[in-house]
Structure 1
């Protein structure tokens, strides 16, 4: 009995020693390799590698101080607020001001000293690097910099997908895109019920000049291509939108046989009064039937993005669905 007890005690001691050695081996990895690997894993930041105009680039997914001039729409759609907002002097993207109003401005051409001032940990730029004051290398020295390809710059859906990947918000990106598609489906049905095959046009009045939206100009793409609203012949004749957007004469506008016209103009623009006082304009179908709708914040119409598109849909529903 005494011998058996000693054996049990000895076995217990040996088992404890084995556990202790195994634990030490697990921490030290025997050769020391796992120790350095474990430490690196603990300190390693979350990163993602994505394609960009500059080739593959590795970026942090935990960035908190982000600058993405003119593309704040896509950030906000993902629930991310940048540290500065795009501006040309005092002009900003008005339709985003309810979310960005308290942020400092950063000039559209991204002066390097202004970028430094905001201490970003991620910079997102358009593919047209020549429009910026600094070079890619200048911005890279400040923070990891992602330059969108031309496709991502021009396609806000792709933009949300890529931003979602970069910011570790892929599920959020999928969610907001699905919600938007449902909004389009619902709005399309409501508009079809309300106006049927009637035509709609959008004109931007700046000072005393008038810009008629082509079918793919800014948020008019939502109107014609997504919602399927009928296009007036004059708009069709303009063809595809070009980089340079030229004003249209009042005489040419008299040819606009649209059933409904959205007149986009800030309060006090001379163009509103010019059209009111023009007998030629007042003889057009939309004017004669009282179907001119003045929208005093044109900024969502003159942009592309998820929020801009949703706001444009809301404008259409407000005025066209009675």
Structure 2
């Protein structure tokens, strides 16, 4: 009898011990599955260790660069997507750029990355965080694509991969500067975007302007300097009369309006770069209107192709 009591007590102790171990193990697993990070708006966000259903509207470039695939991709209106990413995002359904609550809910995300403070106006953060952990990525006028890539790399615990992406890009830029030295040194260039029969020019320190002037080392034409002083966005509208005085050696044109009347105007035809066949045209499916490591890499590749 005594022996049975001892055995029974030992069995119960063993069960309690296993249960306690199980709880401890579960607790440790839970801790391992979540990391707490502070985002750009000082929210403490519990990030899943390996999120599987990510929505990161207009940040898809960074996700693809880090080998992550979103459950939905950015769009503005019908069919307006980031075409240059579609080899990796083929078949991924779209979600409108302003992330309507009901649409977000429908995709059942386990992580939301927000790339602009403006997206959260009107108390939207509280709505989104009820659906999934919501992390606001570094953003703003002085935030570069590198800053955003590193921040997103931190979210996915892929800081080393983010640094490798930057290093590969820098090597491509350095290689291009050396190989195309005679076509870059002392040469000026501009990026124009034509849409709805209107022309827009990139500022000297934004988007592709940053690439042309600060990374590759093209000269900045006077007209670009002038519009950059007042620029409040990547591209600023510029009149055809002003463009007729443009003294750039090269024009990189993003053409979203191939039938624009301005192309038939003598003022356009007489722009020196146009007359000298130094007008290099890209369609609206190219990466020139976007930001991110893949967008910039494709821009450099485009420049290499046309300057061969």
Shorter-chain TM-score range: 0.7 to 0.9
Q: Does structure 2 conserve the Cα–Cα contact (< 8 Å) formed by 1:207 and 1:269? A: no
Match of 2:200 in 1: 211
- Superposed CA deviations along residues 174-214 of structure 1, whole A, max 9, x for unmatched, are 21111111111111222323343111111100020000111
Match of 1:260 among 225, 250, 253: 250
Q: Does structure 1 conserve the Cα–Cα contact (< 8 Å) formed by 2:63 and 2:70? A: yes
Structure 2: runs of 5+ lacking an equivalent = 1-9
- Superposed CA deviations along residues 198-252 of structure 1, whole A, max 9, x for unmatched, are 1111110002000011112322211111111111111111125313854211111
SS in 1 for 2:109: coil
**Alpha carbons of 1:245 and 1:35: their partners in 2 closer, same or farther (altered >3 Å)?**
closer
Match of 2:6 in 1: none
Tell me, in whole angstroms, the C-alpha distance in 2 between the residues paired with 1:67 and 1:306.
Answer: 19
Q: Does structure 1 conserve the Cα–Cα contact (< 8 Å) formed by 2:207 and 2:234? A: no
Match of 1:285 in 2: 272
Aligned counterparts, 1:37-186, within 5 A: 37-52=24-39, 53-90=41-78, 91-130=80-119, 135-150=124-139, 154-186=143-175
Range with bigger deviation, 197-206 or 210-219: 210-219
Range with bigger deviation, 138-147 or 240-249: 240-249
Q: CA deviation at 1:170?
A: 2.3
**Alpha carbons of 1:133 and 1:72: their partners in 2 closer, same or farther (altered >3 Å)?**
farther
**Alpha carbons of 1:220 and 1:152: their partners in 2 closer, same or farther (altered >3 Å)?**
closer
Tell me, in whole angstroms, the C-alpha distance in 1 between the residues paired with 2:189 and 2:142.
Answer: 28
Q: Does structure 2 conserve the Cα–Cα contact (< 8 Å) formed by 1:60 and 1:166? A: no
**Alpha carbons of 1:296 and 1:201: their partners in 2 closer, same or farther (altered >3 Å)?**
same
Tell me, in whole angstroms, the C-alpha distance in 2 between the residues paired with 1:178 and 1:45.
Answer: 30
TM-score (norm 1): 0.83
1:317 aligns with 2:307: no
Tell me, in whole angstroms, the C-alpha distance in 2 between the residues paired with 1:317 and 1:122.
Answer: 38
> Size of the alignment, in residue pairs?
293
SS in 2 for 1:238: helix
TM-score (norm 2): 0.86
Match of 1:234 in 2: 223
User: Larger Rg: 1 or 2?
Assistant: 1
Q: Does structure 2 conserve the Cα–Cα contact (< 8 Å) formed by 1:156 and 1:306? A: yes
Q: Does structure 2 conserve the Cα–Cα contact (< 8 Å) formed by 1:212 and 1:248? A: yes
